[in-house]
Amino acid sequence: MLQAATRYRIHTYVVLCLLTGIRTEEARALRWDYVDVEAGTVAVWRSVRSHGDVKTERSRRTLGLPQAVVTALRAHKERQDAERQLAESMWTEHGLVFATQLGGPLDAGNVRRAFRAICSAAGIGENWSPRELRTSFVSLMSHRGVSTEEIARLVGHSSTRTTEVIYREELRPVINTGATIMDGLFPNSGPVPDSLEASAARSAS
């Protein structure tokens, strides 16, 4: 999907949402003065909600950016600067990271259509929405053993309960995380079963 997205204007939008877990409403409101590509950080303090603030107090957070996001943002800034020069007097400056070709705010419907086109081009079907990027982020974090508490902090939830309720299908049981870590700490002590089913299967054999 990321490869397919390179042919679309919202490529960096997709990369940012997938690799940081920020809400699409936060991405659409993101301004360049909240992004520090040199330090590799983004301050998620705004959204496109009517009051302009993020969803909850805990949603206001500053995140470190993966290098892939930094690279994408730099390239995106260059393309936007070129669009600004091309538009000349028709450009309306809002300081937005993700804007139309004339500098205006992105429409949610246009983002959804572009994202579905990307998914279709990637061969995974069209029945996806941009919020799936955030869901995928949570799933990837959980799969790598990140605690629910830390995931809640990353996605800006007010409590782990919110994370557990909304993403209950994406979160792996904590017990699997312990097994994975112990495998890394004691590699010569024999494999640690990933699950009770795997242990039972080996015993039966």
Of 9, 11, 28, 157, which residue is the catalytic one?
157
What single DSSP character describes residue 195? Answer: S
Check if 34 is active-site: no
Of 55, 61, 84, 143, which residue is the catalytic one?
55
Q: How far apart are the first and last CA of the chain?
A: 40
Q: Are 55 and 47 in contact (CB under 8 A)?
A: yes
Of 9, 11, 23, 28, which residue is the catalytic one?
23
Nearest to 42 by CA among 28, 57, 30, 50: 30
User: CA 155, CA 63: separation in Å to the nearest integer?
Assistant: 10
For 44-57, b/e burial (b = at least 16 CB within 10 A) is bbbbbeeeeebeee
Check if 167 is active-site: yes
Check if 23 is active-site: yes
Q: Dump strand ranges (E) for the chain.
A: 35-36, 41-44, 61-64
User: CA 146, CA 96: separation in Å to the nearest integer?
Assistant: 31
The packing angle between helices 148-155 and 131-143, to 10°, is: 150
Check if 134 is active-site: yes
Give the residue numbers annotated as catalytic, written as ranges: 23, 55, 134, 157, 167
